[in-house]
């Protein structure tokens, strides 16, 4: 499903961003979009957070699909 892929890509971007914050104290999203409080940065942070919540469903969906095939 395309929504799953988009959510996974955004969650990966968020993970890479947090990794760079943890390792280098460098926030890529705020650097690209004008600071942490910039509207665009906040929208990106929100989309990444929502995509992470969406990805939780991926953990349980595989089991449901396996049950349908058996």
- This prediction has a pTM of 0.80
Residue-wise pLDDT for 7-39, tens only, equals 999 999 999 999 999 999 999 999 999 999 999
Query: DSSP characters for the chain?
Result: -HHHHHHHHHHHHHHHHHHHHHHHS--HHHHHHTSTTSHHHHHHHHHHHHHHHHHHHHHHHHHHHHHHH-
Is the pLDDT at 64 greater than 80, yes or no?
no
Give the per-residue pLDDT at 65: 56
pLDDT for residue 63 is more than 80: no
């Amino acid at each position: 499903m395309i929504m799953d892929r988009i959510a996974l890509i955004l969650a990966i971007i968020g993970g890479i961003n947090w990794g760079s914050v943890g390792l280098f104290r460098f926030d890529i999203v705020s650097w690209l979009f004008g600071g942490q409080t910039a509207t665009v940065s906040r929208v990106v942070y929100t989309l990444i957070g929502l995509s992470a919540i969406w990805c939780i469903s991926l953990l349980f969906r595989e089991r449901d699909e396996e049950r349908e095939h058996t």
